[in-house]
């Protein structure tokens, strides 16, 4: 009796799965990559036209000049975080930029402290900001400031070898250039 009941339950589950997969969906199929092309779909891809612009806040060459005195900046993008690997004359430097549109400076500072960073309040281009340094990685420095429109900007700079001067000099300069419109 149990075996017959188990077989019946398995059969009913199998039929349910088949019936659930056999349904009709309204619309016309669109080949991969064809969304938004004339006549192929009603999807409005114009709403995503500025998706990667946050990585264009400063030119790659300017970032390379600030963090490595020149060289080459190779960019990558991962979600809300833009990254560059800058190859300079003497070092390779990792640069990270994020812009969280709904971020809050106080919350970012609290989070940095919880992660073990030492923070210091500063002003960058007349804007309140803070630095964040890791006691375990003295060459690393991040700078966070309120974005003029909304949210927060953060620059993090991490050279492979210890910098000769203040590790916060480069991210402060990047933030200053960003807040002044890349001038």
The residues spanned by each domain of the chain are 53-179
What is the predicted pLDDT for the residue at 90? Answer: 76
Give percent of the chain with pLDDT exceeding 70.
68
Three-state SS at 26: coil
Copy the structure tokens of residue 43: 């999807």
Average pLDDT, integer, range 74-102: 86
Q: How many residues does the chain have?
A: 183
Would you call 73 exposed, middle or buried from its count of C-beta atoms within 10 A (0-12, 13-18, 19+)?
A: buried
DSSP state for residue 56 in the 8-state scheme = G
pLDDT digit string, tens, across residues 5-37 = 454 445 555 544 444 445 555 666 655 545 445
- Give φ, ψ of 36 to 5 degrees: 85, -5
Copy the structure tokens of residue 97: 């930029």
pLDDT above 90 for 178: yes
Q: What stretches of the chain adopt beta strand conformation (E)?
A: 72-78, 81-87, 92-100, 118-124, 127-134, 137-146, 152-159
Considering only residues 153 and 42, tell me which one the structure prediction assigns the higher pLDDT.
153
pLDDT digit string, tens, across residues 34-76 = 544 544 455 555 554 555 567 888 999 999 999 988 888 998 8
pLDDT above 70 for 164: yes
**Which fold is adopted by the domain 53-179?**
Jelly Rolls (2.60.120)
């Amino acid at each position: 009796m149990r075996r017959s009941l188990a077989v019946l339950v398995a059969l009913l589950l199998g039929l349910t799965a088949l019936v659930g997969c056999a349904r009709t969906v309204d619309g016309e199929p669109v080949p991969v990559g064809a969304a938004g092309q004339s006549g192929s779909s009603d999807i409005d891809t114009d709403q995503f036209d500025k998706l990667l612009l946050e990585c264009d806040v400063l030119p790659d060459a300017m970032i390379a000049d600030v963090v490595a005195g020149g060289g080459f900046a190779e960019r990558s993008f991962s979600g809300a975080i833009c990254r560059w690997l800058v190859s300079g004359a003497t070092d390779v430097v990792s640069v990270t930029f994020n812009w969280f549109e709904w971020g809050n400076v106080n919350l970012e500072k609290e989070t940095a402290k919880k992660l073990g960073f030492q923070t210091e309040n500063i002003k960058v281009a007349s804007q309140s900001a803070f630095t964040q340094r890791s006691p375990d990685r003295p060459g690393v420095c991040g700078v966070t400031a309120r974005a003029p429109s909304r949210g927060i900007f953060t620059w993090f700079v991490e050279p492979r070898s210890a910098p000769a001067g203040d590790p916060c000099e480069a991210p402060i300069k990047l933030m200053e250039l960003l807040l002044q419109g890349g001038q």
